């Protein structure tokens, strides 16, 4: 399996993601945002960071990069796209995923471990979460407060396009377990065809039990499994 990690000015989780991909035998190459041709890839990763210093709106300027046209083509052809944190914000700005990510409800940057409930395991990113559907990942963001019209939210719920919801360690999804004010406790969503996943938590930071944890590994294992 081959992957491309797109690097924007201000990306800072690009190397972490590449290390995670390599650990699970997914070949990765860094692709600079100014390239016009996406190398042949099964998976495109938009990494976390602060592309263009979050100017104008988070992810906005990056979503107009030269490489984006090819990424949209790749996605429309059914190719896998994973957007983590700032990558999720970029996916939202390109229109590949619906809704918007507002500033956290309490207007603070949040960096901490959170529990997540895996709501959909019928997709290429989450298959292996069948064995463990309450997981612990790290969030580190200022704009992660997912917001969408009630119609969009209904559609996401109905079609089971919500991949992850914030919960407590027992799996209770409620206001208390919502760190940033996201509608319906949403932490990550899929597109209709389920080949695009955007999420605020960082799976690439939990791939080693000695350093942090291993709940992120399960996502990378899922990606390799079906290939």
Partner 1 sequence: MKISAIVTLKKDVLDPQGKVVNQTLKNMGYNNIIDVRQGKYFEIELNESNKEKAKKIVEDICKKLLTNSIIEDYKINI
**Is 88 an interacting residue with respect to partner 1 (CB under 8 A)?**
no
Q: Is the dihedral of CA 217, 219, 225, 227 positive or negative?
A: negative
Q: Is 55 in the site for partner 1 (CB under 8 A)?
A: yes
202 is catalytic: yes
Structure tokens at 215: 């709940």
Q: Is 61 in the site for partner 1 (CB under 8 A)?
A: yes
Q: Which of 23, 69, 75 is nearest to 45 (CA)?
A: 75
**Cβ pair 156, 198 in contact under 8 A:** no
Segment interacting with partner 1, rule: CB under 8 A, options 52-60, 70-78, 144-152, 187-195: 52-60
Q: Which lies closer to partner 1 via its Cβ, residue 34 or residue 227?
A: 34
Q: What are phi and psi of 209, to 5 degrees?
A: -60, -30
d(CA 34, CA 27) in angstroms, rounded, equals: 21
52 lines the binding site for partner 1 (CB under 8 A): yes
Active site includes 204? yes
Tell me whether residue 9 or residue 181 sits nearer to partner 1 (CB atom). 9
d(CA 92, CA 97) in angstroms, rounded, equals 5
85, 93, 119, 126: the catalytic one is: 85
Residue nearer to partner 1 on the CB measure, 19 or 56: 56
CB-based contacts of 37, cutoff 8 Å, min separation 6: 70
Contact 225, 128 (CB under 8 A): yes
Taking CB under 8 A as the binding criterion, the range among 54-62, 74-82, 96-104, 205-213 that sits at the site for partner 1 is 54-62
- Reduced to 3 states (helix: H, G, I; strand: E, B; else coil), residue 22 is helix
| Cβ contact 123:102 at 8 Å | no
Does position 56 interact with partner 1 (CB under 8 A)? The reply is yes
- The verdict on 57 binding partner 1 (CB under 8 A) reads no
What six digits make up the tokens of 37? 């041709």
Residue from 27, 64, 103, 160 binding partner 1 (CB under 8 A): 64
Q: Nearest distance from residue 173's CB to partner 1, in Å?
A: 37
Residue 52 or residue 220: which is nearer to partner 1 going by CB?
52
Any idea which residues carry the catalytic annotation? 85, 202, 204
Residues of this chain that interact with partner 1 (CB under 8 A) are 52-53, 55-56, 61, 64, 66
């Amino acid at each position: 399996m081959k992957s491309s990690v797109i690097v924007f000015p201000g990306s800072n989780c690009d190397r972490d993601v590449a290390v995670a991909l390599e650990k699970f035998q997914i070949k990765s190459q860094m692709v600079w945002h100014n390239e016009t041709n996406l190398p042949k890839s099964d998976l495109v990763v938009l990494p976390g960071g602060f592309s263009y210093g979050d100017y104008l709106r988070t992810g906005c300027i990056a979503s107009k990069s030269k490489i984006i046209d090819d990424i949209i083509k790749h996605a429309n052809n059914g190719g896998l796209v994973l957007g983590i944190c700032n990558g999720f914000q970029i996916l939202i700005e390109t229109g590949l995923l619906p809704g918007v990510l507002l500033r956290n409800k309490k207007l603070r940057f949040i960096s901490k471990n959170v529990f997540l409930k895996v709501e959909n395991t019928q997709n290429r990113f989450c298959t292996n979460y069948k064995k463990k559907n309450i997981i612990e990942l790290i969030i580190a963001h200022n704009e992660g407060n997912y917001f969408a019209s009630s119609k969009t939210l209904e559609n996401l719920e109905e079609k089971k396009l919500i991949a992850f919801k914030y919960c407590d360690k027992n799996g209770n999804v409620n206001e208390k377990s919502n760190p940033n004010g996201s509608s319906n406790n949403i932490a990550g969503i899929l597109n209709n065809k389920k080949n695009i996943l955007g999420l605020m938590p960082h799976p690439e930071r939990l791939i080693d039990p000695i350093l942090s944890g291993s709940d992120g590994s399960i996502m990378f294992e899922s990606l390799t499994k079906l290939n």
